[in-house]
Amino acid sequence: MRIKLRIWRQAGPDAPGAMQTYQLDHVSEEMSFLEMLDMLNEELTAQDLEPVAFDHDCREGICGMCGIVIDGAPHGRYNSSVPTTTCQLHMRSFADGAVIDVEPWRAGAFPIIKDLVVDRKAFDRVIQAGGYVSVNTGSAPEAHSTPAPKRQADKAFDNATCIGCGACVAACPNGSGMLFTSAKITHLAMLPQGQPERALRVKAMVAAHDAAGFGGCTNIGECASVCPKQIPLASIGQLNRDLIASLFKGDGK
pLDDT in tens, the chain (253 residues): 999 999 999 999 999 999 999 999 999 999 999 999 999 999 999 999 999 999 999 999 999 999 999 999 999 975 456 788 999 999 999 999 999 999 999 999 999 999 999 999 999 999 999 999 887 766 766 656 777 889 999 999 999 999 999 999 999 999 999 999 999 999 999 998 899 999 999 999 999 999 999 999 999 999 999 999 999 999 999 999 999 999 886 544 4
Q: Cβ of 32: how many Cβ atoms within 10 Å? A: 18
pLDDT at 12: 95
Strands (E), 175-240: none
Strands 99-103 vs 3-10: parallel, antiparallel or unpaired: parallel
How far apart (Å, rounded) are the C-alpha atoms in residues 245 and 253?
Answer: 7
pLDDT for 81 equals 65
For residues 90 and 30, the answer to whether their CB atoms sit within 8 Å is yes
CA distance linking residue 134 with residue 151, whole number of Å:
24
Dihedrals φ, ψ of 190, to 5°?
A: -90, -5
CA distance 44 to 253: 56
Q: What pLDDT score was predicted for residue 144? A: 65
- In angstroms, rounded to a whole number, what is the distance separating the alpha carbons of residues 102 and 65? 16
207, 126 contact by CB (below 8 A): no
Domains and CATH numbers, the chain: 3-103 (3.10.20.30), 120-137+147-248 (1.10.1060.10)
